[in-house]
Amino acid sequence: MDEIDRRILAALVTDAGQSYAKLSEQVGLSPPAVHDRVKKLRASGAIKGVEARIDPAQVGKALLAFVHVDTIGWGKTPVMLALGDLPEVEEIHSVTGDTCMLLKVRVTDSPALEGLLARIYDIKGVQATRSYVALSTYLERPPQAGVTADLHVVQHPEELA
Q: Specify whether 18 is located in the same domain as 64.
A: no
The one-letter amino acid at 136: S
The verdict on 68 and 126 lying in the same domain is yes
**51 falls within a domain:** no
Number of domains in the chain: 2
CA geometry: angle 38, 36, 9, nearest 5 deg: 25
Model confidence band, residue 75 (pLDDT cutoffs 50, 70, 90) = low
| Domain co-membership, 86 together with 122 | yes
CATH number for the domain harbouring residue 13? 1.10.10.10
Whether residue 60 sits in one domain with residue 125: yes
Q: Determine, yes or no, domain membership for 49.
A: no
Predicted confidence at residue 33, as pLDDT, reads 94
Q: How high is the pLDDT of residue 88? A: 95
In a domain, 12, yes or no: yes
Q: What is the mean pLDDT of residues 135-154?
A: 82
Residues 76 and 114 in one domain: yes
Residues 20 and 60 in one domain: no
pLDDT band at 157 (very low <50, low <70, confident <90, very high): low
Total Cβ atoms within 10 A of residue 131:
16
Query: What number is the average pLDDT over the span 17-41?
Result: 93
Domain identity same for 107 and 65: yes
Which one is predicted more confidently, 59 or 142? Answer: 59
Range of 40's domain? Answer: 3-44
What's 56's DSSP letter?
G
CA pair distance 23, 29, nearest whole angstrom: 9
**pLDDT score of 56 more than 80:** yes
Answer whether residue 144 is part of any domain: no
Flag the least confident range among 34-43, 70-79, 112-121: 70-79
